[in-house]
Amino acid sequence: MTKKIVIVTGAGIGIGRAVADRFAKDGHHVVVTDVLDTEGQATVDAITQAGGSAEYRHLDVRSTPEADTLVADIVAKHGRIDVIVTNAGIAHRVPMAEMTDEKWDETFDIDLKGMLRVIRPALPSMPQGGAIICLSSIMGVAYGWDEHVHYSAAKSGVVGLVRGLAVECAKDGLRVNGVAPGYIRTAQLLSEQNSLGPNAAAIASPYIPMGRLGDPSEIASVIAFLASSDASYLTGQVVTVDGGLLPGRY
């Protein structure tokens, strides 16, 4: 196995951390990025203590200069970027009647344009066989989410980004796919202010055919597959990982 250089955004907690852990466990070098410096460094410390290879870099995906500098530094240091996982995102509850332009723009700036900022400067350094995986959501591919219209709209935009970029990058030997998680046990889901709260399992599980919430590691496993040569003919797709929620609702 060739060690890959992997950038994961929002890797301090939740799905991002699980993704970083998985790539490191598979023998790759992970560039952990986040605005949560303590949590991001903790991810790196856990990886290195387990014998893996990782480094932490602060990155606010709202900043084009920060993203450009990060990518340039990683390419200068490692010579290339093989895999990008754009995971950083926010999902704040705001009823539409209370929605401000600023909150709408902030969500799109992080959840959608933040992906552009990391991917764009990295493309010239990515070798054939490189892979980009973007995080969407079941709320972006199938469902509406009341009081989260801005989030649903941004995550729907991720689907368009994946499709268009996959077609554009195919000639260069790069694959672009997405993952749309369902109800996953993360701090976001367990937030009473912005999502289902501490009783998320009891609320959501009856609607999920598999009868439980997903674990971040289960999303990481799908992302690891999409980045691997086992998915060499798969591009432009958004894989829904939701315990059967989407086909099971009727």
- pTM for the predicted model, two decimal places: 0.95
Question: If pLDDT is split at 50, 70 and 90, which confidence band does 219 have?
Answer: very high
Instruction: Examine the pLDDT at 250 and tell me if it is beyond 60.
Output: no
Quick check: 158 and 91 in contact, CB under 8 A? no
pLDDT above 60: residue 92: yes
Q: What is the pLDDT of residue 107?
A: 97
Instruction: State what percent of residues in the chain have pLDDT above 90.
Output: 86
Range 5-186+215-248 classified under CATH 3.40.50.720: yes
Q: For this structure, is 151 an active site residue?
A: yes
Query: Which candidate in 151, 183, 233, 250 is catalytic?
Result: 151
Instruction: Give the least confident one: 6-10, 47-51, 201-205.
Output: 201-205
pLDDT at res. 1: 55
pLDDT tens digits for range 198-213: 877 888 888 889 999 9
Which residues, including other chains, have CB under 8 Å from residue 231's CB and lie 6 or more apart? 131, 175, 177, 225
Q: What is the pLDDT of residues 110-154, one digit of tens each?
A: 999 999 999 999 999 999 999 999 999 999 999 889 999 999 999
